[in-house]
Amino acid sequence: MAASDPLATTVSTKGQVILPKTVRERRRWSAGTRLVVEETPEGVLLRAAPAFPPTTAAGVFGMLRASGPAKSLEEMDAAVLGEAARRHGRD
């Protein structure tokens, strides 16, 4: 089947639709993949559902509590540079 040939499927009496294997493989959609169904003016759009719900900074701010006194920007910069040097073997 050429890439430009349209793929077709049928809606079952239960309302189920089988996606062609080539589409599932190309999208890496295995059994159990959750899909978002969206109606558009052109038809129906299927997208893989996100693994996690969307979040905002306000929704997660403060989730991890720090212990000890707050660090200054200079202390944080020094720690980041020190870790980068340690990971990359630099002085």
pLDDT by 10s per residue, the chain, length 91: 455 668 899 999 999 999 999 999 999 999 999 999 999 999 999 999 998 888 888 888 877 777 889 899 999 999 999 999 999 876 5
Asked if residue 59 lies in contact with residue 71, where contact means CB atoms within 8 angstroms, the answer is no
Q: Residue 22's domain spans which residues?
A: 1-51
What is the DSSP secondary structure assignment for residue 17, as one 8-state letter?
B
Helices (H) and strands (E) in the chain, counts: 3, 2
Cβ-count burial of 61 within 10 angstroms (0-12 exposed, 13-18 middle, 19+ buried)? exposed
According to the model, what pLDDT value does residue 6 have?
A: 81
**Number of structural domains found in the chain:** 1
89 found inside a domain: no
Classified as helix, coil or strand, 50 is coil
Residue type, 85: A
Beta bridge partners of 22: none
75 found inside a domain: no
91 found inside a domain: no
Tell me the pTM.
0.53
CATH of the domain at 35: 2.10.260.10
